[in-house]
Structure 1
Amino acid sequence: MKKKILAYVKDNRLFVGIISVLLVIFCLFLWLTCGAGNSMEAETSYTDISALSTSSSQKSSKALSERPAQSKTEATDTPREQVTVDVKGAVTKPGVYTLKASSRVTDAIKAAGGMTEDADAKSVNLAASLSDEEVIYVASKDENVSVVGQSDSGAASDKGGKTSQKDGKINLNTATSEELQTISGIGAKRAEDIIAYRESHGGFQSVDDLKNVSGIGDKTLEKIRESIYVA
């Protein structure tokens, strides 16, 4: 059999040569085609993965940059849940108390142990809403201070019933800067100094404490003594 094949090839060299060349060309074509396809597919896959990775990174960076801004906005929009008030005067336990924002003056007084026996319930508006950093002052009966009909008596007080004037006198512990400036000889700068001293020392204990304020001496105090009081 082998001899017959060799004899056939020998007799048909030209034909066999052409067939061999064609087979080589065909194999080379298949190799080039398959190799180039796999290479292009690999390159395409790599490109898609890179693009996907870049897109994911950009989205993550954008989300991280926007998150603090959203948190800040939410914190700004969040309403205050608590208020801190200073309860003074004729109460069992004067002091600073933190209550719910929806609390009333009556709740602040209850937190301070309630009114004492000599407290004047008419000196405060128990139904008034509380505001942060507010001072609630409960007067005693001998102070003769009342929020009832105060528009007729000419007394000035805020919603918590903290009276700033009585019988034409200014309360050093509750008066505003504008009210202090109505006192003869007290200008804007001196009024601010009085308020600063009041806040840093927890209020005035007596009218004489006013001499501790810069710029106010014995002569000035004697001149304005009849215009002021402490409660």
Structure 2
Amino acid sequence: MDKYIEWLKEYKWQLSVPAVALLLIGSFVLFRPAAQSQDQTGLTDFPQTEQTSTSQEDLAASSTEEASQLVVDVKGAVKEPGLYSLEAGSRVNDAIEAAGGLTDEADPKSINLAQKLTDEAVVYVARVEEQVSIIGSREGDSAGSMQGEKNTKVNLNTATEADLQTISGIGAKRAADIIAYREANGGFKTVDDLSNVSGIGDKTMESLRPYVTVD
């Protein structure tokens, strides 16, 4: 035993070198999987980047599709008034056909069937009784906004809720209130009676006056 101890003391430096080498090799083997795991984690970022790029392409395609469509509000003497989605470049005639065509009460002279439409436009078809003159498009008009809307006054005693809503400043509730007043009081005697409707003050009355009549 003494000889073994003496031998260890004599060759301790020679033995320490292989021990250190073994320790280094063991450390390398131990930590290498962690490094590989980090590399693999980094690689997973590439599919995510590709996915983000694909999402951006989808959004671009969606925007292009929206730009190729327009939505118009068709009102008045058509069979099926409402909102319609049409191809960009469509004309008033396309909107009328989408709404089921003109009714028997419609005045064809009140609209320009060849006029191009824009998104959010209103197409209003007047009735024969409204006596609208022939309408032609003019430069500067909003496409699809019928010139007849500006020139034709709405009769407070015969107008429907849809007719009343073609006037700027009259929404669904106010149109319903106007009709309710008309039915309760036997009609409007003068345009000034409109100020008796709930919610219509002097300022609103003056803004509506050019667009309404009782004749």
2:76 match: 89
Change (3 A) 1:122 1:52: same
Q: Structure 2: which amino acid aligns with 1:120? A: D
Percent same amino acid at aligned positions? 28
Give the TM-score of the pair, scaled to structure 2: 0.54
- 1:108 pairs with 2:95: yes
Name the SS of the counterpart of 2:39 in structure 1. helix
> 1:77-105: CA deviations, max 9, x gaps?
445254433322222x1321322232321
Q: Structure 1: which amino acid aligns with 2:197? A: N
1:229 match: 213
Change (3 A) 1:71 1:65: same
Q: Structure 2: which amino acid aligns with 1:228? A: V
Contact 1:85 1:98 in 2 (8 A): yes
Q: Structure 1: which amino acid aligns with 2:213? A: Y
Give 1:72 deviation, angstroms.
9.5
Give 1:106 deviation, angstroms.
1.0
Q: Structure 1: which amino acid aligns with 2:29? A: A
Contact 1:87 1:135 in 2 (8 A): yes
**Alpha-carbon RMSD:** 5.0
Change (3 A) 1:89 1:82: same
Contact 2:73 2:83 in 1 (8 A): yes
2:161 match: none
- 1:52 pairs with 2:39: yes
Name the SS of the counterpart of 1:39 in structure 2. helix
1:159 match: 143
1:148 match: 136
In structure 1, how many angstroms separate the alpha carbons of the residues matched to 2:85 and 2:171?
Answer: 24
Name the SS of the counterpart of 1:84 in structure 2. strand
- 1:99 pairs with 2:72: no
In structure 2, how many angstroms separate the alpha carbons of the residues matched to 1:84 and 1:227?
Answer: 25
> 1:9-49: CA deviations, max 9, x gaps?
xxxxxxxx9xx99xx88994785366235214314514522
Change (3 A) 1:173 1:145: farther
Q: Structure 2: which amino acid aligns with 1:85? A: V
2:112 match: 125
Q: Structure 1: which amino acid aligns with 2:171? A: R
Q: Structure 2: which amino acid aligns with 1:198? A: G
2:23 match: 36
In structure 2, how many angstroms separate the alpha carbons of the residues matched to 1:198 and 1:74?
Answer: 35
Contact 2:72 2:122 in 1 (8 A): yes
Corresponding residue pairs, total = 180
Give 1:138 deviation, angstroms.
1.1
Q: Structure 1: which amino acid aligns with 2:42? A: S
Q: Which runs of 5+ in 1 are unaligned?
A: 1-16, 177-194
Give the TM-score of the pair, scaled to structure 1: 0.52
Contact 2:109 2:132 in 1 (8 A): no
Q: Structure 1: which amino acid aligns with 2:75? A: K
Structure with larger RCO (C-alpha < 8 A, sep 6+): 2
Contact 1:135 1:162 in 2 (8 A): no
